[in-house]
Amino acid sequence: MRTFAFSRADSVERAATSADATAFVAGGTTLLDLIKLDVLKPANVVDINALPLKRVERLDDGRLKIGALVTNTDLAHHPEVKAHYPVLSEALLAGASTQLRNMATTAGNVMQRTRCPYYRDPAAKCNRREPGTGCDAMNGINRMNAVLGGSDACIAVHPSDMCVGIAAIGATLTLQGPGGEREVDFADFHRLPGDTPHIEHDLQEGELITAITLDAPLKGAGSHYLKLRDRASYEFALASCAAEITLDGETIREARLALGGVATKPWRCTEAEAALVGQPAEKASFERAAEIALKDAVPREHNAYKIPLARQAIVRALRNAAQDKTSQSETQESQA
Amino acid sequence: MDDSVHSRTRAQAAPGTQTLNFTLNGEPRTLEVAPNAVLLDVLREQIGLGGTKKGCDHGQCGACTVHVDGQSMNSCLRLAVMCEGQHVTTVEGLARDGELHPIQQNFLECDAYQCGYCTPGQMMSATALLNDERVGTDDASVKEAMSGNICRCGAYKNIVEAIQKSRQQLSYDATQKEGTA
């Protein structure tokens, strides 16, 4: 592994004034992997594990504030998350392995890089890794690449499961920078590649994510996270779907839908959500939403299969979420 | 030779080392480590504990699994300097007073390995999951919790058997928890 200067941050404010070419390390599962591959080349690595960012707290307005350093394991098993955001717990536990979840943190997961093999190989052309060099995925083995949100410059998939759950729930990021604190809507944090795929997110030089605050839970919602992949465990998604749904009787009152494994960022499907409202909670409605969600999909040579796969993921996730809702109201009624 | 190519093919000496204080298999340790040295390499090459194996070196195979403060982690993706003040347990720390840990005994009895290269990592993940009440006790939960440990010989069936047999034998009182954490 290449060399770097190592130091430990003792306060959020001081961490946010770190020198240029600094990488913050928390779990290290992405950073050290990519330094070893010579994809990331920070001159300075600052360990932020001593910072007081490990709390999960319910706010007065019903939102849930998650410290940047809460591990994926701890978040997945946190009583507040299990009770009020089961779709996030399921998404977290569908990601990576036990060991990696024990190391990886909430903010680190948001910051994880694509698994596109051309990005990970310094010998390949990659506009994301080295702007202006081209994209070997475009006409290469692009079976795992994106069908949504891509550009002529980049079709790399955002690999996170956690972020798909968060995209469906809705959230706000708190960032600490040299100039103070600011907040960013989670939906705006990750950038579409466009002509500048190397600009992956809204984090500026020196800024540090300190918290992620989930929107208040959707009351009475049923939910499901469905992940489809090449093997049953410890594999990235070919397509995944986080769905939340609330019903008035058999009619859909509200729906939240996000996709993973098929898009260049955690992919909220707002148009498909709107089309579900007021519709009967049945297969035909789910299929129509799935059509809408994938209508702008652009397939490449090896990844056209992702379009029907993502549609099926949506239909199944919605069906399971609706059934989850039914079982919840039955439970509530029987308890009443 | 181009610097970037050079750094990929051979480990470079880091400019300046840092002092690391941590507890390894119950013993306090102080040593000087390079800031870019991962825990795996420090364990194997600097301390001389070769039980922890290097497989993929990228967090994909689980051969390097150790416990850090009782939790299973990939030692290939953790800088040694990040373990300051922490308790690290390797496969060498499982046996007590010359007596094998039940998971080691049951890996032997269940024939839960062939070439043995992944075995230390498998046993470290196994002991961690037996101590984790958040993980279900059925075979499916065990397989899911163990999916970060690849066995290319394909000894999975017997590994699950060894874990379940150990679960039956062990009553996890506080003393034993301390012993394996």
Over range B33-41, report the average pLDDT.
97
- How high is the pLDDT of residue B12? 47
**Strand order across the A171-177 sheet:** A56-58, A64-67, A208-214, A171-177, A180-185
For the cut 80, the answer to whether the pLDDT of residue B174 exceeds it is: no
pLDDT at B8: 40
Calculate how close chain B gets to A30, using CA atoms only, in Å: 8
Contact between B59 and A30 (Cβ < 8 Å): no
Residues on chain B touching A8 (C-beta within 8 angstroms): 84
CATH architecture, range A222-329: 2-Layer Sandwich (3.30)
Say which of A2, A6, A99 has its CB closest to residue B148: A99
Q: Is B18's CB within 8 Å of A6's CB?
A: yes
**Full set of structural domains in chain B with CATH:** 3-93 (3.10.20.30), 102-180 (1.10.150.120)
How high is the pLDDT of residue A34? 98
Min Cα separation A98/chain B (Å): 6
pLDDT digit string, tens, across residues A188-199: 999 999 999 999
Contacting residues for A259 by C-beta, under 8 A, at least 6 apart: A148, A164, A239, A240, A241, A242, A267, A269, A293, A310, A313, A314
The per-residue pLDDT for range B64-83, each reduced to its tens digit, is: 999 999 999 999 999 999 99
Residue A295: exposure state from Cβ atoms within 10 A (0-12, 13-18, ≥19): exposed
Q: Answer yes or no: do B35 and A102 touch at CB < 8 A.
A: no
pLDDT per residue as tens digits for the range A221-260: 999 999 999 999 999 999 999 999 999 999 999 999 999 9
Domain ranges (residues) in chain A: 56-111+158-214, 222-329
pTM above 0.90, yes or no: yes
Tell which of B6, B61, B71 to mutate to test the A interface (max A CBs under 10 Å): B71
To the nearest whole Å, the CA of A228 is away from the closest chain B CA by 15
- B134: chain A residues, CB-CB within 8 Å: 77
Interchain proximity A33–B129, CB inside 8 Å: no
> Residue B9 above 50 pLDDT?
no
CATH number for region A56-111+158-214:
3.30.465.10
Q: Do A1 and B77 touch (CB under 8 A)?
A: no
Residues 244-283 of A with CB under 8 A from B: none
Q: What percent of chain A has pLDDT over 90?
A: 92
Determine, for residues A36 and B36 on separate chains, whether the beta-carbon distance falls below 8 Å: no
| Nearest-10 Cα torsion for A130, A136, A141, A143 | 60
User: Which tops the pLDDT comparison, B83 or A327?
Assistant: B83
pLDDT at residue B173, as a whole number: 47
CA distances from A192 to A149, A197, A224, A290, B176 (A): 6, 7, 26, 21, 51
